Structure 1
């Protein structure tokens, strides 16, 4: 299934029909060395510049002791909101690296990491949010409460929670969108120049997404089974598959934001890497429960995304400036 995004002539004179965001990898300037250079810029922004940004925020919050705490990955040394901000501070820099790579190195619009159409369908992003948020809250959150009620505690500090809500909404939107633009956008587009086979693209993206999440406390608690089911299958593979089916990363952007914001604002495990002053705190992480939930959520998510909601069939033409360019 593909979007009928444009029908027209590409720079080479060949007719372009049913274009997806994957084909946008060949718009603008796309020689292999450009993707290599773009990847280096993005990794520098993510691995180095982003850590500098977090260190600056840590210093602003708690001086040298804050920087030392960051070096120990001791986010509990900060206030609940402060620790969250320190962790998330690097994502705007990560995002900037992606935008620089696409805009300057490939000389095409960053929107092409999301869709081949003239405009992003925020309606479809909303579909992804609902399809991700509702089953996660009902099955993951309430399910654990019904099975393990003793692990739940209510956050009585509503003043801190009220302060945290707008901060969490903004920073989580940046975090999840950045990850989607990179893992489901840039990585998929770049690997498509090697081989456009959808199975290859899905597996490559899912593996690359799983690796940096392997050190998360949830992965350590769940072992390799939990890491495989939660990050590789339940998130990495699911999001790239729906992106390849839809021809855009819109569903994945909405679903990823829904998953994380529910975790940060509603049900947060106290031992999480992203510990947050959520409405409810979970004292014990039941890895096998979440392994099962990850598998159950997949068909539920797909049913809501493709049965309850319908894809947008109308499209708008993409400007020639986005498509025409030298390699």
Structure 2
């Protein structure tokens, strides 16, 4: 999505130009060393502080047994809700690292990781959610039930599910938005200072997104097919491309949230990276089915996102204060 902005240094408003969130990378202080420093801050916040926070939550839940469960990545000893909390505990620090990098190191608004507009369009985030949730529900929900009916079971504890819902909504939104701000936002913007070619930017973002997921149980179980179709294409490349086409990460934020909340709340499979008290549980993770499902989900997602929901052509002027010359 493109929007009209005033181009130039602070206080020197000259021509008007269409800008995307990628171009917003040059509105603040954007020398290469700043992106290197920003990545260091973000990765320290995620990998060191976030890991420590997850360990503390595991200990708080179940003492040394909880710590052992976290170390072995086997949360059966602390329960599905406990495992979910431990898995999500590091994301507030991951997000804090991103906000510190953008605000203090690059001296621009964190909103520019999402859009070059004055305001985030929540409706477009909603479009992304619906466009992904609908085919996901039909293919991985109804489709999986039709192919593997004996593996489906309805939750035995609706009280636990009801208590888990608000927790899942809040923490999943935090998790998926943080990942979008980093992989489709910060990584793409940083790479654009090297080369603004869209193919290059899409590939850099997709590889950066895929690599951390290689150790997930789903990737190990499904091998190269799951890695390529489920993570590289479905989870990475498609969302990177639509972000570059739209000029914002709004659509990707909605789609990513839809994908994860469906797995956490609606249909969860045993053997996935996070086991939750979802409404339905599948007793086995069918890796090939999930990988091939991307071949159906992606075209339907694109059709809904761009045919059912039309892109808003209206634009808004962006404050010159967002645009500070290179320093």
Normalised to the residue count of structure 2, the TM-score between the two structures is 0.97
Structure 1 residue matching 2:278: 3-state secondary structure = coil
**After superposition, what is the alpha-carbon deviation per residue over 1:131-157, rounded to whole angstroms, capped at 9, x for unaligned?**
011110111111000111011111111
CA distance in 1, matches of 2:269, 2:90: 22
Q: Deviations over 1:45-66 (max 9, x none)?
A: 1111100111111111112221
Q: Return 5+ residue gaps in structure 1 as ranges.
A: none
8 Å Cα contact 1:27-1:324 kept in structure 2: yes
Shift of 1:8: 4.7
Quick one: distance in 2 between partners of 1:130 and 1:222? 27
The range that moved more, 29-38 or 63-72, is 63-72
Pairing 1:5–2:4 present:
yes
8 Å Cα contact 2:80/2:275 also seen in 1: yes
Q: What are the Cα deviations for residues 162-213 of structure 1, in whole angstroms up to 9, with x where unaligned?
A: 1110000000000000000000000000000110000000011101100000
| 1:268 aligned residue | 268
CA contact (8 A) 2:6 2:14 kept: no
> Cα offset for 1:15?
2.9
Query: What's the offset of the Cα at 1:229?
Result: 0.5
Match of 2:135 in 1: 135
Pairing 1:82-121 to 2, within 5 Å after superposition: 82-121=82-121
CA separation of 1:264 and 1:210: change in aligned 2, threshold 3 A: same
Residue 17 of structure 1: aligned partner? 17
Q: Give ranges in structure 2 of 5+ residues lacking alignment.
A: none
Moved more, 263-272 or 62-71: 62-71
Task: Report the number of matched residues.
Answer: 326
CA deviation map 1:245-264 (0-9, x unaligned): 00000000000000000010
Distance 1:115 1:85 in 2: 30
Q: Is the 8 A contact 2:130 2:255 kept in 1?
A: yes
Deviation, 1:79, is: 2.1
Distance in 2 of aligned mates of 1:77 and 1:15: 62
Distance 1:64 1:54 in 2: 13
Q: After superposition, what is the alpha-carbon deviation per residue over 1:267-325, rounded to whole angstroms, capped at 9, x for unaligned? A: 10111111111011111222222222111111110100000001122222211111124
Cross-structure match for 2:177: 177
Aligned positions of 1:51-70 closer than 5 A: 51-70=51-70
Q: Please show how residues 18-37 of structure 1 align to structure 2 within 5 Å.
A: 18-37=18-37
The root-mean-square deviation of aligned C-alpha atoms, in Å, is 1.3
CA contact (8 A) 1:9 1:16 kept: no
Q: TM-score, normalised by structure 1?
A: 0.97
Give the secondary-structure state (helix, strand or coil) at the position aligned to 1:268: strand
